[in-house]
Amino acid sequence: MMRNAPMVSCGTAGKRADITEGCVEHWRDAVRLNTVLNYRHHMASAFLDAHDHAALIAELQRLVTLDPRQYGFAATLLVRLNQQSVRDHARAATEYATVSALQAMVEADPDRYGFALRVIRQFEGAAAREWARAALDEIFAGEAEDQAMVLLDEAEAAHSHGEGSEAVALTRRALSLDPGSVTYRPQTVIMVAGELRRNSEEALRWCDLAAPHADDMFDILHQKGFSYLLLNRQMEAQRDLLASLALAPERMSSWYVLGQFHRLRFEDTQALECYWRVRNSTDPLRVWAGLMIGYTHLLHDRLREAMEICDHVRAEHPWMKWALIIRGLVHLRAGDLDAAEHAINEGRRDDPDTLRARVFHGLIGLARHRPSEALADFNGECGDFACHALPRLGRARALLDLKQMEEAKRLIADAVREESQWIAVTLRLLGPSGEALMPLLIAAGFGG
């Protein structure tokens, strides 16, 4: 702790500055720490180059014990380890040392809890982050209300950095500690609820919890409409989306989701009206609205119109590789399998986002009557609107050709039970190959 100290004068460039002796000592400590950290950086890099893994791990543990913020440097260094088993062991050992240092820090000063959470957000893997947060909880001596507020602060920061799953974990922990903390950041809770696409019931609960304290009812109604749509509660979805637009017709997000509502019901005129409203705005969603216009035309066999809008989006936004994916689907619908495969492969090349479009490549395997190839593509990744109907139905169709009836039945039953609203659209994408699934779908209750 800094003590009150006499002032000492220090002249610089003709000016006079008054600096306490405590300040000078603080600067000296910072210089000493930076010197030691720099030394440890060089030593760790040298051990890595020498393939001395035991010495590397020990050095990294010393580094993060001195300053837990150095975990980011350590993680970057560990990526260079070639052996997965060695890398996993080194990362676990470094994370353990980091958490031990953070525990000591938070135990001495509970106000450092937020800092500790920011360090932990860098850990690789949700399980490691959950373990680290639980370890901090064991020694946190502050009030639950204060802890929940810090968690919500970090949830908002995580969301703003694109860390959706981390924002959900932090918000969930905050609300479990103190449900009343929603009054502190109601908009954060609503915003993070949008990440709960696979748990829409929880998203609705969060919205209801935040509603009495929210300044902006549009966000509440929009999120509830979106969640209802994912739950196949279509009339409630339409009600809340229209209510949100009655409050703020100039906000495009609800127009976009309302377009999805109509598209799933094959109400193409209404869907296109919603999408064009977004497309003709300045909202960033206008790019996606253009693709959904193309997708809607595709589902109704207006292939020329679908191709034209995809070309227009691609010309306007060369980075938007999803336009190539939809072009591939148009070629597939037209029966040109080579062009379809080329477009989808080009769309997936060197793009982390469109790499998950592998499920659409699976449609080509089905069309070529290559069920084993298709099965590899339908690997559980999401299809239309972040749902699993396409990988489930596509995989079931491939399994039928491979005479694996029981697994096909299970997938069909899962799709009907959890995502029946997407099945009709998915069957359109599957085309003629999807007809063989109808007996299984009817047996599972679809259309009943």
CA 287 to mean position of chain CA atoms: 19
Query: Whats the size of the chain, residue-wise?
Result: 448
pLDDT at residue number 174: 94
Task: Round the CA-based radius of gyration of the chain to a whole number and report it.
Answer: 27
pLDDT above 90 for 447: no
Both tokens of 322, joined, read 């999803």
Tens-place pLDDT, residues 313-325: 999 999 999 999 9
For the chain, report the end-to-end CA distance as a whole number of angstroms: 73
Say yes or no to pLDDT of 383 above 60.
no
What pLDDT is attached to residue 237?
A: 96
Q: How confident is the model at residue 24 (pLDDT cuts 50, 70, 90)?
A: low
Q: What is the DSSP string of 294-316?
A: HHHHHHTT-HHHHHHHHHHHHHH
Give residue-wise pLDDT tens across range 132-183: 999 998 888 778 899 999 999 999 999 999 899 999 999 999 999 999 999 9
Separation of alpha carbons 289 and 287, rounded Å: 5
Output the six-digit token pair for 36: 């030691």
Does residue 254 surpass a pLDDT of 60? yes
Q: What percentage of residues in the chain have a pLDDT greater than 70?
A: 93
DSSP secondary structure of 77-123: HHTT---HHHHHHHHHHHHHHHHHHHHHHHHH-GGGHHHHHHHHTTS
- In the DSSP assignment, the letter for residue 123 is S
Residue 70, helix vs strand vs coil: helix
Using a 10 angstrom Cβ sphere, with 0-12 exposed, 13-18 middle and 19 or more buried, the burial of residue 107 is: middle
What pLDDT digit, counting tens, does each position of 188-239 carry?
999 999 998 778 999 999 999 999 999 889 999 999 999 999 898 999 999 9
pLDDT band at 84 (very low <50, low <70, confident <90, very high): confident
